[in-house]
Structure 1
Amino acid sequence: MIQVEGLTRTYGGFTAVDDISFVAQPGRVTGFLGPNGAGKTTTMRVMVGLTPPSRGRVTIGGHVYHDIPNPGRHVGVLLDASAQHAGRSGREILTIGARTMGLPDARVDEMLALVSLSPEESKRRLRNYSLGMKQRLGIAHALLGDPSVLILDEPANGLDPAGIRWMRGLLKGYADRGGTVLLSSHLLHEVEMIADEMILIGRGKIVAQGDKKTLLDRGGAPSTLVTSLDNGALAAALQGKGIPLVAAGEGLKVEAPAVEVGRTALEAGIVLTDLRFGGAGLEELFLELTSDTQREGHIEGASA
Structure 2
Amino acid sequence: MIEVKNLSKRYGDFVAVDDVSFTCKPGRVTGFLGPNGAGKSTTMRIIAGLTPAGAGTATIRGAAYRDIPNPTLHVGVLLDASAQHAGRTGREILRLSAMTLGVPMSRVDDALAMVSLSKEEAGRRVRNYSLGMRQRLGIANALLGDPGVLILDEPVNGLDPAGIHWMRTLLRDYANRGGTVMLSSHLLHEIEIIADDLIVIGHGKIVAQGTKEELLAGTGAIVRAADNDQLGRALSAADVAAHPADGGGFRVEVAPDVAGRIALDARVHLVELRGGDGARLEEMFLQLTQKTQRDQTTVNQGVQS
Match of residue 26 from structure 1: 26
Q: Distance in 1 between matches of 2:62 and 2:246?
A: 52
Counterpart code for 2:202: G
Displacement of 1:213 in angstroms is: 2.1
Match of residue 148 from structure 2: 148
Map Cα deviations across residues 101-146 of structure 1 (whole Å, 9 max, x no partner): 1111111011111111111111111111100000000010110000
What pairs up with 1:34-73 in 2 under 5 angstroms?
34-73=34-73
C-alpha contact 1:197 1:211 (8 A) present in aligned 2:
yes
1:216/1:122 Cα in 2 relative to 1: closer, same or farther (>3 Å)?
Answer: same
Displacement of 1:203 in angstroms is: 1.1
Match of residue 286 from structure 1: 285
Q: Distance in 1 between matches of 2:221 and 2:94?
A: 49
The percent of aligned pairs where both chains have the same amino acid is 68
C-alpha contact 1:75 1:149 (8 A) present in aligned 2:
yes
Map Cα deviations across residues 57-83 of structure 1 (whole Å, 9 max, x no partner): 100000000010011110000000111
In the superposition, the TM-score normalised over structure 2's length comes to 0.77
CA-atom RMSD, angstroms?
A: 2.4
C-alpha contact 1:77 1:152 (8 A) present in aligned 2:
yes
SS in 2 for 1:183: strand
Gaps of 5+ in 2: 223-244, 253-275, 297-305
Displacement of 1:219 in angstroms is: 5.3
SS in 2 for 1:99: helix
Match of residue 14 from structure 1: 14
Displacement of 1:247 in angstroms is: 9.1
Q: Distance in 2 between matches of 1:65 and 1:12?
A: 25
1:120/1:8 Cα in 2 relative to 1: closer, same or farther (>3 Å)?
Answer: same
What pairs up with 1:104-123 in 2 under 5 angstroms?
104-123=104-123
Q: Distance in 2 between matches of 1:116 and 1:138?
A: 12
1:134/1:219 Cα in 2 relative to 1: closer, same or farther (>3 Å)?
Answer: farther
Moved more, 86-95 or 209-218: 209-218
Map Cα deviations across residues 165-189 of structure 1 (whole Å, 9 max, x no partner): 1101100100000000000112311
Displacement of 1:190 in angstroms is: 2.0
1:87 matched to 2:104? The reply is no
Q: Distance in 1 between matches of 2:66 and 2:14?
A: 26
SS in 2 for 1:193: helix
Gaps of 5+ in 1: 223-245, 249-253, 256-276, 298-304
Map Cα deviations across residues 181-212 of structure 1 (whole Å, 9 max, x no partner): 00011231121111110001111111001112
1:219/1:100 Cα in 2 relative to 1: closer, same or farther (>3 Å)?
Answer: farther
Match of residue 124 from structure 1: 124
Q: Distance in 1 between matches of 2:219 and 2:170?
A: 30
1:204 matched to 2:209? The reply is no
SS in 1 for 2:52: coil
Q: Distance in 1 between matches of 2:287 and 2:64?
A: 35
Q: Distance in 2 between matches of 1:141 and 1:197?
A: 25
Match of residue 167 from structure 1: 167
Q: Distance in 1 between matches of 2:86 and 2:194?
A: 32
Q: Distance in 1 between matches of 2:246 and 2:188?
A: 25
Displacement of 1:294 in angstroms is: 1.7
Q: When the two structures are aligned, how many residues end up with a matched partner?
A: 250
Displacement of 1:17 in angstroms is: 0.7
1:193/1:279 Cα in 2 relative to 1: closer, same or farther (>3 Å)?
Answer: farther
Q: Distance in 2 between matches of 1:23 and 1:135?
A: 26
Q: Distance in 1 between matches of 2:148 and 2:217?
A: 32
Counterpart code for 1:17: V
Match of residue 272 from structure 2: none
Q: Distance in 1 between matches of 2:105 and 2:197?
A: 36
1:218/1:103 Cα in 2 relative to 1: closer, same or farther (>3 Å)?
Answer: same
Q: Distance in 2 between matches of 1:19 and 1:128?
A: 42
C-alpha contact 1:219 1:285 (8 A) present in aligned 2:
no
Match of residue 75 from structure 2: 75
Map Cα deviations across residues 220-262 of structure 1 (whole Å, 9 max, x no partner): 359xxxxxxxxxxxxxxxxxxxxxxx996xxxxx99xxxxxxx
Displacement of 1:278 in angstroms is: 6.7
In the superposition, the TM-score normalised over structure 1's length comes to 0.77
SS in 1 for 2:194: coil
